[in-house]
Amino acid sequence: MITEGNMILHITGTKHGLQILATGDVTLWRFFYDVLCID
């Protein structure tokens, strides 16, 4: 279910996720990715 909070988290999470992935911290990126995919 999409909520306003989840949408904001998705947008910010994607931007931060790309930055984190760029720095090589794949584990943290995967954590955010898994959290977003739960809903």
Task: Check: CB of residue 36 under 8 Å from CB of residue 13.
Answer: yes
pLDDT, residue 30, reads 76
- Say what the pTM is: 0.27
Per-residue pLDDT tens digits for 2-36: 566 666 566 666 666 566 555 656 677 677 777 87
pLDDT at 27: 74
Tell me 24's DSSP state. T
What one-character-per-residue DSSP string does 1-39 give? ---HHHHHHHHHHHHHHHHHHHHT-HHHHHHHHHHHHH-
Q: Which domain holds residue 23?
A: 4-38
The residue whose two tokens read 């584990």 is: 27
The total domain count for the chain is 1
CA gap 24, 13 in Å, rounded: 16
